[in-house]
Structure 1
Amino acid sequence: MEQKDDIYYIEKVLAGQTNYFSYIVERYQDVVFSIALKVLRNRDDAQEMAQESFIKAYKSLSSFKGTAKFSTWLYRITYNNCISELRKRKIHFASTDDVDLKDEAEEVNLDGIPEENRAKAIKEAMDRLPEDEYTLILLYYFEDQSVEEISKVTQLSESNTKVKLFRARKKLYTILNEMMKDELYTIL
């Protein structure tokens, strides 16, 4: 359904009804901004990069082939723009290979935490992840992108995407566990 909706609006824009592009911007602006913010770590830069990503997507819309989801294509544009900007600035960006993780995934029990606090805890834990891990978690769990789609966005092989996603999930669990222990310690 999402793919057909996007294709419908893309066809309208390509047919000259450019006002339909606002649907696309409205639909994807939060995730595009979130990816840019996590990679660039600056709100103003992220807003500018999100705008640039939509402009680039608009100008390149005729090159969208529809073989993958539009969202995958748009996230790829955003991610590439951000990485290019970082390279221009010569800012080092962390790799999951540099992170020392335990061999076993730790389970986090969030059942006793009210729903509104759960969302806050997960957001806070995700904010502690490096940008590449944050992006993987965001795309997989919150944007329902497949491993294949994520590999296209990040230009990693599918197997490398799976490994990095697994490591990111383990790291998120570790962060959440530490947060829960700290919270319990402060209560006691």
Structure 2
Amino acid sequence: MEQKDDIYYIEKVKSGETNAFSYIVEKYKEIVFSIALKVLKNREDAEELAQESFIKAYNSLHTFKGNAKFSTWLYRITYNSCISEIRKRKMNFASTSEIEIKDESEELNLDGIPAENRAQVIKQALDQLPEDEYTLVLLYYFEEQSIEDIGKVTGLSESNTKVKLYRARKKLYTIISNIMKDELYTIL
């Protein structure tokens, strides 16, 4: 259904109804911004790059063939734009600003963490991941992208995507465990 909705609006835009692109922006603005924020680690730069990503997508919409999901295509534009921006600026990474985590974070099976603390612990742990691992986790767990689609976004092979996602999960588990130990230690 998601892909059909996207295609419907893409075709409207291609046929001259440019206002239909606002549906696409509204649907994907949060995840595009989240990817940009995690990679660039600066809210203003991420906002600017997210806007630029939508402009690039709009200007290149005629090249979208529909072989992959539109979301995959858009995330790839965003990710590549971020990497290009980093290379261009050769910037030093600063601390991340807040990243919104949706309720889908419950899927990570964090039974040992009280429900009211889960989002906070997950956010804290995600902030500690390198941007490439963060992107993999975000796309797989929060955006429910397939391994194949994630590979297309990041430019990795499917097997390399699986390996890197596995390592990111292990690292995330270790980080969460350490956070929980620290919290328990401060309580005692």
TM-score (norm: length of structure 2)? 0.89
Cα RMSD (Å): 1.5
1:132 deviates by 0.4
Gap change, CA 1:46 and 1:109, over 3 Å in 2: closer
- Per the alignment, residue 181 of structure 1 pairs with 181
Superposition map of 1:5-20 within 5 A:
5-20=5-20
- Per the alignment, residue 111 of structure 2 pairs with 111
- Per the alignment, residue 105 of structure 1 pairs with none
- Per the alignment, residue 155 of structure 2 pairs with 155
Extract unaligned runs of 5+ from structure 1. Answer: 94-107
After superposition, the C-alpha distances for 1:75-128 in whole angstroms (9 at most, x for unaligned) are: 0000000000011112489xxxxxxxxxxxxxx973243323111211111111
Cα separation, 1, equivalents of 2:62 and 2:71: 15
Superposition map of 1:19-168 within 5 A:
19-91=19-91, 110-168=110-168
Cα separation, 1, equivalents of 2:86 and 2:109: 37
After superposition, the C-alpha distances for 1:43-65 in whole angstroms (9 at most, x for unaligned) are: 00000000000000000001101
Instruction: Tell me how many residue pairs correspond in the alignment.
Output: 174
Percent identical among aligned pairs is: 78
Cα separation, 2, equivalents of 1:152 and 1:75: 9
